Structure 1
Amino acid sequence: MHSKLSVDQLVDRVMAELEKRIASSPSPSPTPSRSLPSEERESSGGSVEGSTEAVEEAFGGIRMSHVPSSKWEEGVSELIASTPARIGVWRAGTRPLTREWLHFRCDHAAAVDSIYGSVSQKLLDEYKLFTVETCFVNTENYLKRPDMGRIITEKGVRVILERCERRPQVQIVISDGLSANAVTANLADVYPSLLDSLSGVGLSTGTPFFVRGGRVAVMDHIGDLLEPEVLVLLIGERPGLVSSKSMSAYMCYRPRAGTVESSRTVLSNIHAGGTAPVEAGAHMGTIVRKMIEQRTSGVHLE
């Protein structure tokens, strides 16, 4: 059985293979018009000068500027350190550097996989989460018809009413939303932390469950069914090229049909490179307690 590789490990292997092929191929005739930086020669098919250490420095996992002879090298380095955005990636002629292009393609593929992926039943069973579905039908329809991800199916409604406690203080719901990978990556950290934080502030929870194909406003339909004081929805965010595993926590005091978006409180960017999942779960308990004390949420919460 093959071991699972990370994106960085996969890119490193591809780059190592490219380096072998470049090293074994005849060197092209020198071009008198201009001297290319080593990164540009790599991507345009020429040989890379320097030792193995130099190659590893050029294509290693450390984020660094590839801009040759930068007029503001210190400023560019500060920008790169302050954001995960693609800054200072440079180019090879009119093309991106090979390594940057591979990372871009990997990140894009991860984003697509998040949308079309699914949460494993093993993970849901581990936390005793039963599953209901919205009227989303399938992923293609889900993307075109957000309204259908806000309504639980008739079968799902019956299951919720049969298995869930009515009028709990806090109802927790998990949904894949636009990123199944977000649930897979973060649930094991954020969910136990959330339960501990709610227990720590003296709040009880109802019967948690998983909604497949859910949108944020599905919490309004669930609110009508179970009438909780506060509903907490942990849902996968729209994936991007920085992270395909980002989760949001939407919290609302007494959500019902017709609830406006400004009445929801959200804690977003919950993932390893953003708001730490364990910290997010711990902070949610404090927020929910304030909602119950003040009997409100969203922009009206102090």
Structure 2
Amino acid sequence: MNEAQIESIVQAVLGELGEAKNSGTITEVAAGIVSQLDATGKATQAPRSNGLGCIELTDDLASDKFKNWIGVKNANKPDVNENMRKQTTARILVGRCGPRPTTIPLLRFSADHSRSKDTVIKEVAPEWLEKHRLLEVKSQITNKEQYLTRPDLGRRLDEESKQLILENCKKSPQVQLVVSDGLSTDAITNNYDEILPPLLKGLENAGLNVGTPFFLRYGRVKAQDEIGELLDAEVNLLLIGERPGLGQSESLSCYAIYRPNTTTTVESDRTVISNIHAGGTPPVEAAAVIVELAREMLAKKASGIGLKG
């Protein structure tokens, strides 16, 4: 099919849609950009109006201007919609085109979905670990694909990692801190600098004996039981990436347990602080809560439902 035939088809479609015919140009609309190819084949760019002025190819669909965008047109009380939009990050007031979502919400949905998938399969880079001076150990998992299909192997350490922990980490601490990628690499890399320094400082100021922090690659929550046994630690704290939600890929959780046992510990023995990130519980605030939790666990020699008694 040559260019003349393509041009003929385009003009016919535009005519059916009631659009004015273009003389010597082909108009293409994609992601809010109108790209025109002139007779010489040279591309020109003209922004298309969309209520935000325009969407540029370099725009970040996760930015506030898109999150706060209101797609409801000709509202009776626009101020009510604006106030509602400020109260929640939920996908409300996005408007519609017939039974379908409008372009901006659809693009945002796709972008948020991609971001959530990406953080699950990304790896924490060795350079990042070196920068933060973290010893790396791993579970019995060998890659991310296996991690997602064999959670049982993520609950146990491989033999080399057991040896590394015994050789490099302080024995019998009051508090042992472990960082793990879990299901969100972004949760670790984006929150680490905001939570680790105040957490370690808070534990130190509380007069607690803190073990050697290290990084567990491909870890599952129950792996902290084996770590606690290996190091004879009283309170075990595991900071691990949560399963990402749509558009929220940075959420961190802290699982805390008192003297875990690989055979007798059950999930109700753990205390969990979740939703740690800038849009949830701020990391610095979470650090203070975790310090107080550790002190309470040591005082009562319990965790999970045992703290309720």
TM-score range relative to shorter protein: 0.7 to 0.9
Tell me which residue corresponds to 1:129: 134
Report the Cα distance in structure 2 between the residues aligned to 1:21 and 1:148, rounded to whole angstroms.
51
- Displacement of 1:21 in angstroms is 1.3
Contiguous gaps of at least 5 residues in structure 1 = 1-15, 26-46
Amino acid aligned to 1:255:
P
Contact preservation (8 Å) 1:224, 1:256: yes
Tell me which residue corresponds to 1:96: 101
Contact preservation (8 Å) 1:85, 1:242: no
**Are 2:194 and 1:189 aligned?**
yes
- Displacement of 1:185 in angstroms is 0.3
Tell me which residue corresponds to 1:283: 289
User: Which of residues 280, 297, 302 is equivalent to 2:303?
Assistant: 297
**Are 2:21 and 1:21 aligned?**
no
**3-state SS of the aligned residue for 2:71?**
coil
Amino acid aligned to 1:260:
V
Contact preservation (8 Å) 1:197, 1:284: no
- Displacement of 1:49 in angstroms is 8.6
Tell me which residue corresponds to 1:139: 144
**3-state SS of the aligned residue for 1:272?**
coil
Report the Cα distance in structure 2 between the residues aligned to 1:261 and 1:110, rounded to whole angstroms.
30
Q: Kindly tell me the number of residue pairs found equivalent between the two proteins.
A: 262
- Displacement of 1:80 in angstroms is 3.6
Q: Which has the higher helix share?
A: 1
- Displacement of 1:172 in angstroms is 0.5
TM-score normalised per structure 2: 0.77
Amino acid aligned to 2:121:
Y
**Are 2:122 and 1:109 aligned?**
no
**3-state SS of the aligned residue for 1:194?**
helix
Contact preservation (8 Å) 2:297, 2:303: yes
Contact preservation (8 Å) 1:149, 1:218: yes
**Are 2:183 and 1:170 aligned?**
no
- Percentage of matched positions with identical amino acids: 43
Contact preservation (8 Å) 2:228, 2:236: yes
- Displacement of 1:282 in angstroms is 2.0
- Displacement of 1:126 in angstroms is 2.8
CA shift in 2, pair 1:262/1:74, >3 Å: farther
Contiguous gaps of at least 5 residues in structure 2 = 1-28, 38-47, 56-60
Contact preservation (8 Å) 2:184, 2:241: yes
User: Which of residues 243, 255, 265 is equivalent to 1:259?
Assistant: 265
**3-state SS of the aligned residue for 2:274?**
strand
Contact preservation (8 Å) 2:67, 2:89: no
User: Which of residues 223, 245, 253 is equivalent to 1:248?
Assistant: 253
CA shift in 2, pair 1:79/1:141, >3 Å: farther
- Displacement of 1:100 in angstroms is 1.2
**Are 2:203 and 1:198 aligned?**
yes
- Displacement of 1:17 in angstroms is 7.9
CA shift in 2, pair 1:227/1:49, >3 Å: closer
- Rg larger in structure: 2
CA RMSD of aligned residues (A): 2.7
Contact preservation (8 Å) 2:31, 2:103: no
Amino acid aligned to 1:84:
T
CA shift in 2, pair 1:90/1:148, >3 Å: same
Report the Cα distance in structure 1 between the residues aligned to 2:274 and 2:261, rounded to whole angstroms.
22
Report the Cα distance in structure 2 between the residues aligned to 1:195 and 1:255, rounded to whole angstroms.
21
TM-score normalised per structure 1: 0.78
Tell me which residue corresponds to 1:224: 229
Amino acid aligned to 2:306:
H
Report the Cα distance in structure 2 between the residues aligned to 1:18 and 1:142, rounded to whole angstroms.
35
CA shift in 2, pair 1:62/1:182, >3 Å: closer
**Are 2:204 and 1:208 aligned?**
no
Report the Cα distance in structure 2 between the residues aligned to 1:19 and 1:133, rounded to whole angstroms.
45
Report the Cα distance in structure 2 between the residues aligned to 1:165 and 1:62, rounded to whole angstroms.
46
- Displacement of 1:115 in angstroms is 0.6
More RCO (CA 8 Å, sep 6+): 1
Report 1:264-275 matches (<5 A): 264-275=270-281
